[in-house]
């Protein structure tokens, strides 16, 4: 018998909010390393000046209860699954025949990424769209993240998460087949589902492609696009992968610092929001500050930061999300945002994804597409699955 979900409402106790403010008030900020003339204050990591400003706002200007209420506006549940209590949003679609859509975040994200895009996906008519494009959205907190974390619970890699997600959709919720969408680890999990659980899927849509990031993918004479990507990949590996190495090799050590210091946690996460979003130099030009802090605060209140690192450790010590010798053969759609961390050309992507049916180059946006460009991402997801709905009918 499938486990029975229980309704859930997030309610952080007042004492935890007071303790957070007390810790923020006692923050000891680092000094700022000298910046070269005309240099970027973020060139060595999180700007000390910005961090001081962010900590002050988090302490005195941020309203956690407003963010909590925004999340609680959606139906939420918890269900015992794969040895943990899995949290998820389950939002019915408003249309003649809504398609079930598994919507997955990554790191350093959470279900807070989806608060603006879910209404567009579940009720397109409210935004001038066609109700026939409606989805019923299932948006889990990934195992080990946020409200799907409890101290001491087992850790999950991408393959483990994919198996858990498939059982949630088919075994718990009873959907025979479903659509999947994700970015960051969510994109990797969608790819893993497409490779290992294809029978459950209508198709997948991703905004980050899970193709290998090493020299083995460059074979023979390279096209101009492949040479450009090779150069971008070399720069990424040299300048941007430090977080992957520490999270993938010594997650417990880093967790000790970030679980104890909210300012440190904010610095670690905000740096990625700065580096990976399509902003003008300030995160807030791309992402609302309070929504970002809602996401960071969820990591803080749940104490999940160490567990959230585990997919990195599992990847460095285990298989790639798409196992060797396997490909993703389900219908695939891809939205390429200009400030995404990696943008491989279609020729390389097609080696791993054999049925790419939609490849959209977006005008604006970055890694946190659901937060930065919810209308554009929702429209692309709807357009991709529209043809699959028609073929299914």
> Is the separation of the CB atoms in 77 and 264 below 8 Å?
no
Which residues does the annotation mark as catalytic? 184, 312, 367
Q: How far apart are CA 162 and CA 102, in angstroms?
A: 11
Packing angle, helices 251-258 and 242-249, rounded to 10: 100
Q: How far apart are CA 270 and CA 46, in angstroms?
A: 7
Q: Give me the DSSP letters along 82-129.
A: TTEEEEEEEE---SSSPEEEEEE--TT--GGGGTTTHHHHH-GGGGTS
- Could you give the 3-state DSSP secondary structure of residue 79? strand
Q: How far apart are CA 219 and CA 212, in angstroms?
A: 13
Q: How far apart are CA 201 and CA 190, in angstroms?
A: 10
User: Nearest-CA neighbor of 64 among 116, 118, 112, 7?
Assistant: 112
């Amino acid at each position: 018998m499938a486990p029975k979900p229980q309704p859930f409402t997030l309610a952080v106790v007042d004492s935890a909010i007071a303790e957070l403010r007390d810790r923020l008030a006692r923050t000891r900020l680092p000094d700022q390393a000298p910046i070269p003339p005309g240099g970027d204050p973020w060139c060595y990591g999180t700007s000390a000046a910005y961090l001081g400003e962010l900590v002050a706002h988090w302490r005195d200007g941020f309203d956690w209860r407003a963010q909590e209420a925004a999340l609680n506006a959606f139906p939420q549940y918890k269900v015992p699954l794969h040895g943990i209590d899995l949290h998820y949003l389950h939002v019915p679609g408003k249309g003649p025949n809504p398609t079930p859509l598994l919507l997955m975040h990554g790191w350093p994200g959470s279900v807070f990424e989806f608060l603006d895009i879910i209404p567009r996906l579940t009720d397109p008519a409210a935004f001038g769209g066609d109700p026939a494009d409606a989805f019923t959205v299932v948006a889990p907190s990934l195992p080990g993240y946020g409200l799907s974390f409890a101290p001491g619970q087992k850790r999950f890699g991408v393959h483990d998460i994919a198996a858990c997600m498939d059982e949630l959709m088919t075994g718990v919720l009873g959907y025979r087949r479903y659509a999947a969408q994700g970015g960051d680890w969510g994109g990797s999990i969608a790819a893993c589902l497409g490779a290992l659980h294809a029978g459950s899927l209508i198709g997948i849509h991703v905004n980050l492609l899970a193709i290998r990031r090493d020299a083995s993918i460059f074979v023979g004479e390279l096209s101009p696009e492949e040479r450009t990507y090779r150069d971008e990949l070399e720069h990424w590996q040299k300048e941007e992968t430090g977080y992957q190495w520490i999270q993938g090799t010594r997650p417990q050590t880093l967790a000790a610092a970030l679980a104890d210091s909210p300012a440190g946690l904010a610095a670690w996460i905000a740096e990625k929001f700065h580096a990976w979003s399509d902003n003008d130099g300030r995160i807030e030009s791309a992402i609302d500050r309070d929504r970002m802090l809602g996401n960071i605060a969820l990591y803080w209140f749940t104490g999940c930061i160490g567990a959230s690192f585990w997919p990195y450790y599992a990847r460095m010590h285990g298989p790639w999300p798409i196992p060797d010798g396997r490909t993703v053969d389900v219908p695939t759609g891809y939205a390429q945002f200009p400030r995404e961390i990696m943008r491989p050309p279609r020729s390389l992507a097609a080696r791993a994804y054999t049925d790419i049916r939609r490849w959209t180059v977006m005008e604006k946006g970055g890694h946190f597409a659901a937060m930065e460009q919810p209308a554009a991402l929702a429209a692309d997801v709807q357009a991709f699955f529209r043809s699959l709905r028609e073929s299914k009918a």
